[in-house]
């Protein structure tokens, strides 16, 4: 299991300290959320902040674009040294072309699905994906309640991947804590995105260690 802490809900007055904490923690990736206030009803930080983060992060960066026309920013994201670029199925009219552009740039390609979007819509693109992201909350804000139907979506997606003998990873994002993380791993998830459940605790580094232990127990 890979663990990808999201900094969406951290105290930005101490962003440098948070990145240092993640660097020395047992986390595998650093999850970054880019929002435009159009596709989702919220704004997050932009490329100037990402550039500063990229200078100090020692973890592979996993960027989640909750924006319209994400393909326009492929080069900028690649130039940051991003490992995985995630776009939403719901925002890409020419999804195959967008995925090809991401992969040709040298990054891993991932497609995210909103809670209402069935995994079966990935049938004709799953062979091209390095990862698929199942949203277990409605995208746009941290700290939301976990949507239980996401568990069955992960099971169905895992079955599709296994039937084709693919190596596509399944990432889950939203309301992930010790309890829901365990359920998602049992359903077939490979990557857990964590936020409030880690950074709203007194000892985020210890919580990341406990989350990482789920992979051993599972």
Q: How far apart are the first and last CA of the chain?
A: 9
- The pLDDT of residue 218 is 61
Is residue 28 part of the annotated active site? The answer reads no
Is residue 190 part of the annotated active site? The answer reads no
- The pLDDT of residue 143 is 66
Rounded mean pLDDT of the chain?
94
Write down the catalytic residue from 20, 33, 36, 79: 33
Residue 217: pLDDT band (50, 70, 90) is: low
CATH 3.20.20.70 correct for 2-217: yes
Domain ranges of the chain: 2-217
Rounded to an integer, the average pLDDT of 164-180 is 97
Q: What is the rounded distance in angstroms from the CA atom of residue 23 to the CA atom of residue 131?
A: 23
pTM of this prediction? Answer: 0.95
- The pLDDT of residue 112 is 98
Residue 215: pLDDT band (50, 70, 90) is: confident
Write down the catalytic residue from 62, 130, 173, 190: 173
Tell me the CA distances in angstroms from 92 to 65, 111, 168, one per residue in order. 11, 10, 20
pLDDT digits (tens, 9 = 90+) for 129-163: 999 999 999 987 766 789 999 999 999 999 999 99
Ramachandran region, residue 205 (left: φ > 0; alpha: ψ -120 to 50; beta: rest): alpha
């Amino acid at each position: 299991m890979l663990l990808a802490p999201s900094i969406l809900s951290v105290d930005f007055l101490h962003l440098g300290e948070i990145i240092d904490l993640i660097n020395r923690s047992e986390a595998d990736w650093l999850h970054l959320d880019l929002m435009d206030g159009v596709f989702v009803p919220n704004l997050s930080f932009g490329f100037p902040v990402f550039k500063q983060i990229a200078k100090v992060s020692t973890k592979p960066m996993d960027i989640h674009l909750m924006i319209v026309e994400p393909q326009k920013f492929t080069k900028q994201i690649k130039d940051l040294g991003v490992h995985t670029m995630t776009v939403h199925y719901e925002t890409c009219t020419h999804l195959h072309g967008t995925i090809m552009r991401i992969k040709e740039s040298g990054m891993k390609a991932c497609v995210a699905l909103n809670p209402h979007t069935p995994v079966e819509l990935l049938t004709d693109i799953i062979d091209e994906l390095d990862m698929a992201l199942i949203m277990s909350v409605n995208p746009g804000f941290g700290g939301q309640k976990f949507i239980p139907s996401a568990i069955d979506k992960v099971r169905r997606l895992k079955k599709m991947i296994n039937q084709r003998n693919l190596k596509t990873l399944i990432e889950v994002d939203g309301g992930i804590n010790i309890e829901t993380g365990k359920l998602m791993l049992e359903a077939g998830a490979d990557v857990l995105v964590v936020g409030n459940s880690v950074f709203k605790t007194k000892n985020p580094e210890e919580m990341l260690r406990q989350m990482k232990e789920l992979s051993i127990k599972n």
